[in-house]
Amino acid sequence: EAQVTQNPRYLITVTGKKLTVTCSQNMNHEYMSWYRQDPGLGLRQIYYSMNVEVTDKGDVPEGYKVSRKEKRNFPLILESPSPNQTSLYFCASSSTVEKEQYFGPGTRLTVT
């Protein structure tokens, strides 16, 4: 089954404790992206990647890091999380030809 998986689905952590949210897709998509969703603000892009070893900032990259060492994986790293990063995070992937984005199930992160 074609899918994007994210782990963990729910995470409660404390300020400053480094964390990684994993994202994996099995569709051989070149393009992968991370979004955060906050009430009234829609989906805001954090980082995206056009292919392996190619990443670029989205609209709200501050406080986040990403890497794309393999085509299927695109982890999101919060090196020193703060309460304003409490949000619902979605990973998405697409082919650069079709452009239809497939979203993962989301990760709800709470930083206290």
Partner 1 sequence: QQPVQSPQAVILREGEDAVINCSSSKALYSVHWYRQKHGEAPVFLMILLKGGEQKGHDKISASFNEKKQQSSLYLTASQLSYSGTYFCGTESRAAGNKLTFGGGTRVLVKP
Residue numbers at the binding site for partner 1 (CB under 8 A):
31, 33, 35, 40-45, 48, 50, 56, 58-59, 90, 99-106
> Residue 19 or 50: which CB sits closer to partner 1?
50
Pairing of strands 76-78, 102-103: unpaired
Report the C-alpha gap between 23 and 43 in whole angstroms: 17
Question: Between residues 45 and 110, which has the closer beta carbon with respect to partner 1?
Answer: 45
| Smallest separation (angstroms) from partner 1 to the CB of 14 | 26
> Is residue 65 packed enough to be buried (19+ CB in 10 Å), middle (13-18) or exposed (0-12)?
middle
Q: How far is the CB of 96 from partner 1 (least distance, A)?
A: 9
